[in-house]
């Protein structure tokens, strides 16, 4: 009965601000209410993190060597579904730029129809990583190998930290991640000169070697960050632009900085009707589709 009275008092009394209640006070309150198991767990530090509010934007964990910087860019894409013809030039350009192996694709092209009638106009749309503002993949990584870069919001993978658990693949609601099982295309397996060409991914220029990263790691679209200059900017005129957007034959893929109101992507969002996939999940993706 005493516990019930205490619970009623808690309901009537306005709750304190989180900073006003210490761990000791919280444990004591839960113990009085009969929640001894929860109090014990909190006392051991097991669930305090779960009771804390989650950050609005996922940040890298300690040890990722990601410096704390001010957000300068909000890079993203606007994809025009009326202009995409399903040629998959973006897929080929991405694989050539990043030298991705079989089974690893940073962007794919989905095809369908606007209705059930086989004579209806087909619908094509390319689907890269959406570089969400609130990426679920970051939250589930147990070692902090995937994180959102603080300077431009691009979600990346640290191959040196990735343990290949693939939790991030499960956590991504867009199917934007692939696992590198170590496969090679025949030309690479035969040790042709092309096999000696390094991948520019992440600016590391590594030659693919058996039993070495990124084999055994999860991989994904990076918006071709290896093409950025020292200030984190792309140069479209110089060709330093994401391969898929640069190669798109129908000019359906538009890339740019949403923070720049004069950028092409910002203008398109003002002038055209756009949607984002699975917005109800709260991921806040940085890829928009024009209808």
Supply the pTM of this predicted model: 0.75
Domain boundaries, the chain: 2-51, 75-290
219 and 100 in contact (C-beta within 8 Å)? yes
Distance (Å, whole) CA 82 – CA 160:
40
Our CA angle for 257, 130, 136, nearest 5°, is 125
* Cα(250)–Cα(254) distance, integer angstroms: 11
Question: Which of 242, 212, 175 is closest to 101 using CA atoms?
Answer: 212
* Distance separating the N- and C-terminal Cα atoms of the chain: 61
CATH classification code of 75-290: 3.30.70.20
- Given a contact cutoff of 8 angstroms between Cβ atoms, the answer to whether 278 and 136 are in contact is no
| pLDDT tens, residue order, the chain (291 aa) | 444 444 344 334 333 333 444 444 544 554 444 444 333 333 433 332 322 333 333 334 333 445 556 899 999 999 999 999 999 999 999 999 999 999 999 999 998 766 677 777 788 999 999 999 999 999 999 999 999 999 999 999 999 999 999 999 999 999 999 999 999 998 888 888 888 899 999 999 999 998 899 999 999 999 999 999 999 999 999 999 999 999 999 999 999 999 999 999 999 999 999 999 999 999 999 999 999
Sequence-distant (≥ 6) Cβ neighbours of residue 252 within 8 angstroms:
79, 80, 81, 82, 83, 84, 85, 126
């Amino acid at each position: 009965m005493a516990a019930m009275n205490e619970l009623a008092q808690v309901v009537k009394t306005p709750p304190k601000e989180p900073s006003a209640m210490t761990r000791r006070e919280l444990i004591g309150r839960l113990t009085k209410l009969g929640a001894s198991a929860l109090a014990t767990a909190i006392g051991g530090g097991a669930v305090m993190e779960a009771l804390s509010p989650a950050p609005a934007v996922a940040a890298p964990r300690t040890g990722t060597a990601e410096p704390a910087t001010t957000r300068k860019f909000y890079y993203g894409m606007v994809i025009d579904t009326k202009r995409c013809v399903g040629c998959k030039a973006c897929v080929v350009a991405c694989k050539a730029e990043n030298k991705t192996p079989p089974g690893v694709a940073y962007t794919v092209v989905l095809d369908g129809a606007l209705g059930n009638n086989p004579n209806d106009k087909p619908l094509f749309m390319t689907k890269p990583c959406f570089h969400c503002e609130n990426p679920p993949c970051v939250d589930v990584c147990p070692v902090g190998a995937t994180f959102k870069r603080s300077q431009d919001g691009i979600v990346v993978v640290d191959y040196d930290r990735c343990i290949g658990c693939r939790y991030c693949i499960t956590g991504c609601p867009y199917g934007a991640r692939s696992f590198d099982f170590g496969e090679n295309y025949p030309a690479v397996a035969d040790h042709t000169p092309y096999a000696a060409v390094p991948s520019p991914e992440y600016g590391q220029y590594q030659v693919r070697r058996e039993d070495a990263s990124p084999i055994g790691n999860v991989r994904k679209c990076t918006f071709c960050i290896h093409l950025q200059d020292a200030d984190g900017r792309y140069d479209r005129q110089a060709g330093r632009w994401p391969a898929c957007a640069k190669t798109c034959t129908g000019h359906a893929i538009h890339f740019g900085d949403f923070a720049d109101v004069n950028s092409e992507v910002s203008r398109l969002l003002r002038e055209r009707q756009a949607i984002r996939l699975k917005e109800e999940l709260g991921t806040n993706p940085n890829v928009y589709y024009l209808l």
